[in-house]
């Protein structure tokens, strides 16, 4: 399958597809570095120097209490807002760089799913490719079918979003993100508003897709079971600062009372029956030049 054409423009939109840059790379992960990120609104500092590194191909989960700055952080990472200080590097390249050499693809799955309700499921999934004339329509139909199948929704192309459950809508949003063959995929609270069984299904999808296309995966969530079930590494964001980073085992045994207090207070699904083995190591993938 060909990559998006050389004339495709960077864009940061609210339709579920974040910065999509034209590239000549296969579907594999890229690294993400967040360095010294600061962001204030009306003189109130929300991000106070956030630092973390996500290796190519791994699943990294950012947890934190409500109001910690998780959504603000995501908005800086996908370029919807500009930080006051600090930088975001994807595949080693600053996203705010004026040098627009476009080398990677990023997709975001918004909390709400952000599906276009007047379009069918298939049209939603193929939306970005159609809008930007990136593929012939027959090829887009194949991609849509492939990515709906990947999230367990084969054959639902002609359904309307309103006909689907909350869990199915989230999966359509994931399929739409997959259609651009992302190298970095961001999930904002993927299990919010879902029942425990749907939450487990989404968690399994995230892991399966990470393994299948080796996409670097950044998840923002306050769902403890999700984080500990899928992550290679977890970072805890509290009041605009990362207070702990480590493997799930390291975070669990972190002696910081703020970390333990947050973990004890965070959501746990009483019915969670997560059966998928969590990934144990990042996939070593070479970042592009
Ligand atoms: P979280 O996602 O962790 O629950 P947010 O990132 O949404 O938290 O918000 C962190 C803080 O930043 C909150 O106090 C919120 O009111 C504030 N905030 C977020 N966006 C804006 C904005 N556009 N203008 C002013 N304050 C904002």
Dump pLDDT digits (tens) for 27-54: 588 999 999 999 999 999 999 999 999 9
pLDDT of residue 270: 37
Does position 266 have pLDDT exceeding 70, yes or no?
no
For ligand 1, atom 25, name the residue with the nearest CA: 41
Q: In the Cβ-directed half-sphere of 231, how many Cα atoms lie within 13 Å?
A: 29
Q: Write down the mean pLDDT value for the chain.
A: 80
How much distance in Å is there from the Cα of 69 to the middle of ligand 1? 6
Once rounded to an integer, what is the mean pLDDT over residues 255-276? 65
The sign of the torsion formed by the CA atoms of 126, 99, 23, 78 equals negative
Residue whose CB lies within 8 A of the most ligand 1 atoms, among 44, 71, 80, 221, for a mutation test: 71
Atom nearest to 66 CA in ligand 1: 4
List the domains of the chain with CATH numbers.
Answer: 32-265 (3.40.50.300)
Atom nearest to 240 CA in ligand 1: 10
**pLDDT over 90, % of the chain:** 39
How much distance in Å is there from the Cα of 119 to the middle of ligand 1? 31
Please, what is the angle between helix 137-150 and helix 166-178, to 10°? Answer: 130
Question: What confidence category does residue 275 fall into, taking pLDDT thresholds of 50, 70 and 90?
Answer: very low
Rg (CA), the chain: 18
Torsion of CA 25, 29, 30, 33, to 10 degrees: 160
Identify whether the C-beta of residue 72 lies closer than 8 Å to the C-beta of residue 46: yes
pLDDT of residue 11: 36
Dump pLDDT digits (tens) for 147-187: 898 888 899 999 999 999 888 888 899 899 888 888 899 99
For ligand 1, atom 8, name the residue with the nearest CA: 67
The sign of the torsion formed by the CA atoms of 247, 219, 69, 270 equals negative
CA distance 44 to 63: 21
pLDDT of residue 94: 85
Dump pLDDT digits (tens) for 81-119: 999 999 999 888 888 655 555 567 888 888 776 888 899
Closest CA to 286 of 72, 25, 84: 25
Does position 12 have pLDDT exceeding 70, yes or no?
no
CB of 46 within 6 A of ligand 1: the answer is: yes
pLDDT of residue 138: 82
CB of 71 within 6 A of ligand 1: the answer is: yes
CB of 74 within 6 A of ligand 1: the answer is: no
pLDDT of residue 56: 92
Does position 285 have pLDDT exceeding 70, yes or no?
no
Residue whose CB lies within 8 A of the most ligand 1 atoms, among 39, 40, 64, 67, for a mutation test: 67
How much distance in Å is there from the Cα of 25 to the middle of ligand 1? 35
CB of 69 within 6 A of ligand 1: the answer is: yes
How much distance in Å is there from the Cα of 113 to the middle of ligand 1? 20
Q: Tell whether pTM > 0.85.
A: no
CA distance 199 to 274: 9
Does position 230 have pLDDT exceeding 90, yes or no?
yes
pLDDT greater at residue 67 or residue 103: 67
Secondary structure (DSSP) of 26-43: -S----EEEEEEEEEETT
Distance linking the first and last C-alpha atoms of the chain: 21
CB of 240 within 6 A of ligand 1: the answer is: no
């Amino acid at each position: 399958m060909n990559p998006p054409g050389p004339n495709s423009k960077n864009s940061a939109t609210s339709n579920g597809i974040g910065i999509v840059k034209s590239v000549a790379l296969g579907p594999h992960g890229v690294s993400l570095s967040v360095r010294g990120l600061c962001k204030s609104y009306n003189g109130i500092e929300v991000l106070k120097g956030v630092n973390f590194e996500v290796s190519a191909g791994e699943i990294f989960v950012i947890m934190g209490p409500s109001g910690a700055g998780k959504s603000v952080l995501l908005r800086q990472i996908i370029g919807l807002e500009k930080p006051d200080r600090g930088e975001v590097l994807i595949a080693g390249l600053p996203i705010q760089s004026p040098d627009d050499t476009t080398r990677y693809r990023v997709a975001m799955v918004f909390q709400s799913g952000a599906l276009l309700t007047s379009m069918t499921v298939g049209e939603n999934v193929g939306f970005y490719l159609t809008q930007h004339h990136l593929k012939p329509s027959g090829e887009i139909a194949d991609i849509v079918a492939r990515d709906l199948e990947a999230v367990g929704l084969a054959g639902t192309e002609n359904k309307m979003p309103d006909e689907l459950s909350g869990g199915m809508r989230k999966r359509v949003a994931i399929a739409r993100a997959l259609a651009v063959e992302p190298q970095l995929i961001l999930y904002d609270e993927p299990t919010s508003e879902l029942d425990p069984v749907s939450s487990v299904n989404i968690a399994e999808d995230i892991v399966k897709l990470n393994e299948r296309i080796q996409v670097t995966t950044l998840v923002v969530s306050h769902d403890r079971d999700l984080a500990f079930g899928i992550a290679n590494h977890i970072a805890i964001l509290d009041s605009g600062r990362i207070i702990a980073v480590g493997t799930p085992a390291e975070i669990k045994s972190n002696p910081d009372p703020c970390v333990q207090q947050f973990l004890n207070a965070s959501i746990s699904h009483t019915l969670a029956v997560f059966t998928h083995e969590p990934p144990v190591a990042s996939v070593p993938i070479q970042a592009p030049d």
